[in-house]
């Protein structure tokens, strides 16, 4: 087979199999453009941390204004493409408005992501500085970009929010859907293999470890067997909860009560009351009050509570 033969075969597959961009029609947002946009958002959230050359304080106003203008242009263009794909009746006008709404939220998002940085510093004894957290901890990238994507998601922008979180997913191995609601002081320790579904709700001061899944127990389907969109499928995690490595928590009716601890490798399909600890003893799942624990466990958890400044 020659290259001409292969070319013809590929062209034929484009016509018969689909899976191509909207040639001669609506162009979709490109990976390169969205990835650059995600990087620029990180520069705006953490000025001076990702520059190739030293940045002085006097340079910040001009650089921020320029970067913000560039982001506005790129964001508006990508939102417009996404809206055209969704057949919005006024994609150009709406894209400009939505872009400004997202940019107006940046100071608020910055305030929240600073709590995430502090939570990581307080929650990891190996951390030596908040600068180390920002530069070297993947949780900062994935949580910060999810918070940006969530603003787009709330405004009904298709495609783009998921593309931004997938940039972070590719970089970190952690997949947080832009629809997930996340409170302040969120920390993912080691930040690898974590999955958080679209309808999950995470409260304040929540800490989770690698491999944790906040997923769906099952999908509701219509009469044709297709998944029904927009229903509550993923769990709620209340304030001051710690979830250890490779725990799996499933279902829209599943709620982990405040100040609870979920042990490693635990499979949870039912609500867990507040102030509980869940773990396996032999092959049995044990869910019991944290107020009735052995002395050794009390000492270990007291140290953790002190580190997080919790009160029970």
Of all residues in the chain, the percent with pLDDT exceeding 70 is 90
> Which residues contact residue 112 at a Cβ distance below 8 angstroms, ignoring those fewer than 6 apart?
147, 184
How far is the C-alpha of 188 from the C-alpha of 202, rounded, in Å? 12
Query: pLDDT digits over 292-306, tens only?
Result: 554 444 445 445 444
Assign domain 28-192 to its CATH architecture: Orthogonal Bundle (1.10)
Of all residues in the chain, the percent with pLDDT exceeding 90 is 72
Beta carbons of 102 and 152 less than 8 angstroms apart: yes
Domain residue spans of the chain: 28-192, 213-221+231-312
Q: Which of 250, 247, 255, 253 is nearest to 274 (CA)?
A: 255
Query: pLDDT digits over 216-255, tens only?
Result: 997 777 888 788 888 999 999 999 999 999 999 999 999 9
Predicted confidence at residue 280, as pLDDT, reads 95
pLDDT above 70: residue 127: yes
pLDDT above 70: residue 138: yes
Residue 117, number of CB atoms within 10 A of its CB: 22
Query: pLDDT digits over 28-81, tens only?
Result: 898 999 999 999 999 999 988 888 777 788 888 888 899 999 999 999 999 999
pLDDT above 70: residue 198: yes
CATH superfamily, domain 213-221+231-312, is Hexapeptide repeat proteins (2.160.10.10)
């Amino acid at each position: 087979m020659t290259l001409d033969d292969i070319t013809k075969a590929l062209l034929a597959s484009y016509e018969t199999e689909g899976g191509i961009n909207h040639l001669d029609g609506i162009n979709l947002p490109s990976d390169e453009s969205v990835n650059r946009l995600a990087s620029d958002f990180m520069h705006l959230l953490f000025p001076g941390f990702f520059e190739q050359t030293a940045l002085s304080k006097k340079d910040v106003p001009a650089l921020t204004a320029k970067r913000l203008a560039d982001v506005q242009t790129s964001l508006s263009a990508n939102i417009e493409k996404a809206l055209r794909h969704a057949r919005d009746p006024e994609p150009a006008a709406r894209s400009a408005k939505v872009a400004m709404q997202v940019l107006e939220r940046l100071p608020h998002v910055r305030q929240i992501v600073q709590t995430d940085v502090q939570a990581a510093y307080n929650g990891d004894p190996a951390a030596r500085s908040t600068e180390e957290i920002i530069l070297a901890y993947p949780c900062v990238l994935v949580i910060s970009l999810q918070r940006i994507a969530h603003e787009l998601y709330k405004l009904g922008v298709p495609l783009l929010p998921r593309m931004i979180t997938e940039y972070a997913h590719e970089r970190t191995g952690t997949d947080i859907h832009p629809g997930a609601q996340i409170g302040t002081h969120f920390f993912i320790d080691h930040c690898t293999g974590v999955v958080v579904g679209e309808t999950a709700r995470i409260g304040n001061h929540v800490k989770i470890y690698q491999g944790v899944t906040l997923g769906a127990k099952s999908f509701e389907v219509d009469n044709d067997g297709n998944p029904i969109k927009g229903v509550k499928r993923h769990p709620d995690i209340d304030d001051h909860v710690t979830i250890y490595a490779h725990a799996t928590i499933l279902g829209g009716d599943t709620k982990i009560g405040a100040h609870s601890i979920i042990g490693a490798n635990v499979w949870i399909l039912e609500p867990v009351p507040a102030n509980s600890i869940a773990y396996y003893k032999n092959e049995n799942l044990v869910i019991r009050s944290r107020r009735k624990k052995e002395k050794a466990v009390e000492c270990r958890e007291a140290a953790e509570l002190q580190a997080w400044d919790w009160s029970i």
